Amino acid sequence: MTTEYEVIIGLEVHVQLATESKIFCDCSTEFGAEPNTHTCPVCLGLPGTLPVLNKKVVDYAIMAGLALNCEISEYSKFDRKNYFYPDLPKAYQISQYDLPLCQNGYIEIETGNGSKKIGITRIHMEEDAGKLVHEGSIDRSTGSLVDYNRTGVPLIEIVSEPDMRSPAEAREYLTQLKKILEYLGVSDCNMEEGSLRCDANVSIRPVGQEEFGTKTELKNMNSFKAVEKALEYEVERQKQVLARGEEVIQETRTWDDSLNKTISMRGKEEAHDYRYFPEPDLVPLEIDAEWVNEIRENLPELPLERKERFISDYGLPAYDAGVLTDSRDLADLFEECVQAYDDPKTVSNWIMGEFLRLVKEAGIEVAESKITGKLLAKMLRLMDDGTISSKIAKTVFEEMFKTGKDPETIVEEKGLKQISDEGKLEEIVDQIILANPNVVEDIKNGKDKAIGFLVGQVMKETRGKANPQLVNKLLREKIK
């Protein structure tokens, strides 16, 4: 008999905050600088130096806490988390242990059976460690290099409750979380550059059992897709372990993207291994209601609110509103265009259709495209006044996308103006009628649909530039 299992997942997400300077010193946080050029005695942990808390970090952490429906603690403190590693020059990391800045929040996600709240246990602030660069082969025989530019870059760690029930839910949680943080502008959430890192905890239990099974922690997934794949692999692995009559071992496992499997890294550390104690060089953090309220009042519109507003203000279908608010940049593009062209559904169709198709084809981010709302609005007006046909509009749009040129200039340069001159079109229509006597006969015998074929022939002859309504009218007059 096979046992049916339920999957339990909780995520710990580290997010680099987009402040200009580090959390406890004024070194730059810029990514990709020459190694060890953004360092100072404080972030190198030299004796006698003292940390000074960057207020912007607290502002950003509170913003994240509010957007994720957390309570903001009036009183919190920093603690030292002690461990020895070459990328951690002080041999301890300043973090928050028992009194984190934010607690008891949630994120709403969409699942197959409607929306669901995933609890957020806590959000705390901490400093990042440096980066080790392993030279040469996997056995590290040629040595490792260390770059301390990243030590002291501010992070928040967002710890979820074990509320997710499938790898797909975990991926959806990450997608929503990233969207919210991007809307807030507190992080660029760039996974490749390490500004968003996810550790995934997973266990299984027989359906109906209340007690959780032993969990494993998965690390080193560098995309949401990889998180989902790693979790799927791990669920299967744990099932097989139990099926063999063995026990799941609590441990940390690393995801190997090329082998498509998780590999045991080390036994799991316990909190007491870290010898946490209050950071003596920083005063506890007291946050009054006024500070929190000011941030709350200035919070930007969040994805869900914006989606609702797109439905009520622009009369868009929920589907459109969801797609358009998927990123702040896309929603901005839409609103910029609607301001200049007051037909939301038409604008939505172009952005969801042609625009997203081209973005995907080019493999770029929305913000990198050359289309602006004003350019799209101008192009739509060229269609309305008959300067270009809808078919030609697609050509113009592609050109705008590539070059960012004004649509009028494109029409001019490429000679794409619609032919609405009756005399000119009549000539072509006559040719097409002469060349297709059988089709004309069919139409005369009542097969009205065949007229579409003739219109198509005229469009082909004019390379899409003929005004289709006019061609239709001329054909009907002449065949009658």
Give me the residues that bind ligand ADP (CB under 6 A), please. 8-12, 159-162, 201-203, 212, 215
Q: Which does 40 bind (CB under 5 to 8 A by kind): ligand ADP, Zn ion, none?
A: Zn ion
Of the pair 43, 118, the CB lying nearest ligand ADP is at 118
Q: What does the binding site for Zn ion look like in residue numbers (CB under 5 A)?
A: 25, 27, 40, 42-43
Of the pair 85, 212, the CB lying nearest ligand ADP is at 212
Per the CB < 8 A criterion, the answer to whether 23 and 52 are in contact is no
Per the CB < 8 A criterion, the answer to whether 157 and 166 are in contact is no
- Minimum distance, C-beta of residue 221 to ligand ADP, in the bound complex (Å): 15
Of the pair 47, 208, the CB lying nearest ligand ADP is at 208
- Minimum distance, C-beta of residue 151 to Zn ion, in the bound complex (Å): 8
- Minimum distance, C-beta of residue 164 to ligand ADP, in the bound complex (Å): 8
Of the pair 204, 451, the CB lying nearest ligand ADP is at 204
Show the tokens assigned to 463.
């390379």
- Residue closest to ligand ADP when measured from CB atoms: 10
Of the pair 13, 180, the CB lying nearest ligand ADP is at 13
- Minimum distance, C-beta of residue 398 to ligand ADP, in the bound complex (Å): 46
Q: Which does 25 bind (CB under 5 to 8 A by kind): ligand ADP, Zn ion, none?
A: Zn ion
Per the DSSP assignment, residues forming a β-bridge with 162 are none
Q: Which does 12 bind (CB under 5 to 8 A by kind): ligand ADP, Zn ion, none?
A: ligand ADP
- Minimum distance, C-beta of residue 154 to Zn ion, in the bound complex (Å): 12
Q: Which does 457 bind (CB under 5 to 8 A by kind): ligand ADP, Zn ion, none?
A: none
Of the pair 17, 474, the CB lying nearest Zn ion is at 17
Of the pair 8, 23, the CB lying nearest Zn ion is at 23
Q: Which does 459 bind (CB under 5 to 8 A by kind): ligand ADP, Zn ion, none?
A: none
Q: Which does 10 bind (CB under 5 to 8 A by kind): Zn ion, ligand ADP, none?
A: ligand ADP
Per the CB < 8 A criterion, the answer to whether 76 and 136 are in contact is no
- Minimum distance, C-beta of residue 280 to ligand ADP, in the bound complex (Å): 25
Phi-psi category of 116—alpha, beta or left, where left has phi over 0 and alpha has psi -120 to 50? beta
Q: Which does 9 bind (CB under 5 to 8 A by kind): ligand ADP, Zn ion, none?
A: ligand ADP
